[in-house]
Chains A and B, each alone.
Chain A
Amino acid sequence: MVAAPLAAVAFRAGGVRLSTPDLAALRFTLLQAGLSALISVALAVPVAKALARRRFPLRGLLITLMGAPFLLPVIVAVIGLITVFGRSGWVNAGLATLGLPGFSIYGLHGVVIAHVFLNLPLAVRMILQAWVSVPSERFRLAASLGFRPRDIARHIERPMLASVLPGALATVFAICLTSFAVALTLGGGPRATTLELAIYQAIRFEFDLGDAAGLSLIQTGIGAFAALLAWRLASAPGFGAGLDRALPLPAPAGWRRLADAGWLLLAAAFLLLPLLALILRGLPGLAELPPSLWGASLRSVLVALISTLVTVAAGLTLALGVARSRSRRMELNAVLPLAVSGLVLGTGLFLIARPFASPGQLALPVTVLVNAVMALPFVYRLLITDARALEADYGRLAASLDLQGVARLRYLTLPRLARPLGFAAGVAAALSMGDLGVIALFASGQEATLPLLVQQLMGAYRTEAAAAAALVLITLSFGLFWIFDAGGRHVQAR
Chain B
Amino acid sequence: MRPMRPFLAACLASLPLAAAAETPVLTVMTYDSFTTEWGPGPAVEKAFEEVCGCDLRFVTGGDGAALLARLQLEGAATEADVVLGLDNNLTAQARATGLFAPHGEAAPTGLPVAFEDDLFLPWDWGWFAFVYDRTKTAMPPEDFRALGDSDLKIVIQDPRSSTPGLGLLMWVKAAYGDRAPEIWTGLSDNILTVTPGWSEAYGLFLGGEADMVLSYTTSPAYHRLAEKDDSKDWAEFAEGHYLQIEVAGILASSKQPELAKEFIAFTQSPAFQSVIPETNWMYPATEIALPEGFETHRPAKSLLLTADEALEARGPALAEWQASLGQ
Number of B residues near A (Cβ < 8 Å) is 59
Which A residue sits closest to B155, measured CB to CB?
A: A185
Question: A255 in the interface, Cβ–Cβ < 8 Å?
Answer: no
Is B326 in contact with A191, judged by CB distance below 8 angstroms?
yes
Interface string of A352-380 (1 = CB under 8 A from B): 00110011100000000000000000000
* Pair A204/B59 contact, Cβ less than 8 Å: no
Given A87-B153, A351-B73, check contact A197 B36 (CB 8 Å): no
| Minimal beta-carbon separation of B193 from chain A (angstroms) | 5
Q: What's the least CB distance linking A475 to chain B, in Å?
A: 20
Interface 1/0 per residue, A68-85 and B, CB below 8 Å: 000000010011001100
Residue A21 is within 8 A (CB to CB) of chain B in the complex:
no
Would you call B253 an interface residue if the criterion is a C-beta within 8 Å of the partner chain's C-beta atoms?
A: no
B63-84 residues with Cβ-Cβ distance < 8 A to A are: 65-66, 68-70, 72-74, 77, 79
B192, A188: Cβ atoms under 8 Å? yes
Which residues of A sit under 8 angstroms from B199, Cβ to Cβ? 455, 458-459
Closest residue of A by beta carbon distance from B39: A460
CB distance from B257 to the nearest CB of A (A): 20
Contact with A along B304-327 (1 / 0, CB 8 A): 000000000000001001100111
Is B161 touching A461 in the complex (CB atoms < 8 A)? no
Q: Name the residue on B nearest A351 (C-beta).
A: B73
Cross-chain contact of B203 among A24, A79, A88, A445 (Cβ < 8 A): A79
Within 8 A of B (CB), among A127-184: 180-181, 184
Q: How far is the CB of A321 from chain B (nearest CB, A)?
A: 36
A184 touches B198 (CB 8 A): no
A191 adjacent to B207 (CB under 8 Å):
no
Contacts of A64 in B (CB 8 A): none
Closest A residue to B326 using CB positions? A190
Residues of A391-432 whose CB lies within 8 A of B: none
Chain A residues near B210 (CB-CB < 8 A): 87
> Does B62 belong to the interface (CB within 8 Å)?
yes
Does B110 sit at the interface, judged by CB under 8 A? no
Q: Which of chain B's residues 218-251 have a Cβ closer than 8 Å to chain A?
A: 219, 222-223, 226
What's the Cα separation between A461 and B232 when bound, in Å? Answer: 13
* Interface stretch of the complex, out of A41-49, A261-269, A436-444: A436-444
Q: How far is the CA of A79 from the CA of B59 in the complex (A)?
A: 30
Asked if A106 is at the interface (CB within 8 A of a chain B CB), the reply is: yes
- Given the known A-B contacts A185-B196, A189-B191, are A359 and B77 also in contact in the complex, defined by CB atoms under 8 Å? no
Q: What is the interface residue range for chain A against chain B?
A: 35 or more
Return chain B residues, CB-CB under 8 Å to A458.
199-200, 202-203
Residue contact B72 to A440, C-beta cutoff 8 Å? no
Known: A79-B203, A82-B207. A197 touches B161 (CB 8 A): yes
Q: Are B193 and A185 in contact (CB under 8 A)?
A: yes
B185 within 8 A of A: no
Whether the pair B326, A205 counts as a contact (CB closer than 8 A) is no
| Chain A nearest Cβ from B280, distance in angstroms | 9
B37 interfacial by beta-carbon distance below 8 Å: yes
Q: Is the beta-carbon distance between B60 and A189 smaller than 8 angstroms?
A: no
Is the pair B61, A441 in contact by a Cβ cutoff of 8 Å? yes
Q: How far is the CB of B156 from chain A (nearest CB, A)?
A: 9
Given A24-B326, A180-B196, A204-B69: A456 and B209 interface contact (C-beta under 8 Å):
no
Instruction: Determine if B219 and A459 form an interchain contact, defined as CB atoms under 8 angstroms apart.
Output: no
Residues of B near A354 (CB, < 8 A) are: 73-74, 77
Q: How far is the CA of A456 from the CA of B199 in the complex (A)?
A: 9
Q: In the bound complex, do residue B69 and residue A290 qualify as a contact, i.e. CB atoms below 8 Å apart?
A: no
Q: Which residues of B contact A185 (CB under 8 A)?
A: 193-196, 200
Bound-state CA distance A248–B74 (Å) is 61
Knowing A190-B325, A191-B326 are in contact, say whether A106-B69 is a contact too (CB < 8 A).
Answer: no
B176 at the interface (CB under 8 A from A): no
The verdict on A53 contacting chain B, using a C-beta distance below 8 Å, is no
Closest A residue by C-beta to B322? A190
The closest CB in chain B to the CB of A82 belongs to B209
Q: In the complex, how many angstroms separate the beta carbon of A440 from the nearest chain B beta carbon?
A: 6
Contact A445 B60 (CB under 8 A): yes
Tell me the bound Cα distance from A186 to B58 in angstroms.
35
Q: Which of A292, A350, A445 has the most CB of B within 10 A?
A: A445
Answer yes or no: B148 CB below 8 A from chain A CBs.
no
A444 touches B72 (CB 8 A): no
The A contact surface, by secondary structure, is helix
CB distance from A274 to the nearest CB of B (A): 13
Is B207 a contact partner of A86 (Cβ separation < 8 A)?
A: yes
Q: Is the CB of B196 within 8 A of A444?
A: no
CA A188 to CA B195, docked complex, whole Å? 8
Query: Nearest chain-B residue to A207 (Cβ)?
Result: B72
The answer to whether A190 touches B321 (Cβ under 8 A) is: yes
Q: Give the CA-CA distance A350 to B39 in the complex, in Å.
A: 26
Docked Cα-Cα span, A358 to B159, in Å, equals 30
B196 proximity list for chain A (CB < 8 A): 180-181, 184-185
B207 & A290 in contact (Cβ 8 Å cutoff): no
| Residue A462 CB within 8 A of the other chain | yes
Contact A443 B192 (CB under 8 A): no
> Quick one: which of A82, A207, A360 contacts B69, CB cutoff 8 A?
A207
Q: How far is the CB of B126 from chain A (nearest CB, A)?
A: 14
Which A residues touch B208, using CB under 8 A? 87-88
**With A456-B32, A460-B39 given, is the CB distance from A197 to B160 under 8 Å?**
yes
CB A451 to nearest CB in B, in angstroms, measures: 13
Taking the complex as formed, is A14 at the interface, i.e. its CB lies under 8 A from any CB of chain B?
Answer: no
Residue picked from B35, B72, B321, most chain A C-beta under 10 Å: B35
Q: Are B192 and A463 in contact (CB under 8 A)?
A: no
Contact of A461 among B32, B72, B77, B222 (CB under 8 A): B222
Known: A186-B193, A204-B69, A350-B73. A445 touches B207 (CB 8 A): no
CB of A201 within 8 Å of the partner chain: yes
B33 at the interface (CB under 8 A from A): yes
Specify which chain A residues have a CB less than 8 angstroms from the CB of B203 in the assembled complex: 79, 458, 463, 466
A-B CB proximity, top 7 nearest: A458-B199, A445-B35, A88-B208, A201-B160, A459-B199, A445-B60, A190-B322
Complex A-B: 10 CB contacts under 8 Å: A82-B209, A86-B207, A86-B209, A185-B195, A190-B321, A190-B322, A205-B160, A292-B36, A354-B77, A460-B33
Chain A: residues with CB nearer than 8 A to chain B? 12, 24, 75, 78-79, 82-83, 86-88, 106, 180-181, 184-191, 193, 197, 200-201, 203-205, 207, 290-292, 347, 350-351, 354-355, 358-360, 440-445, 452, 455-456, 458-463, 466
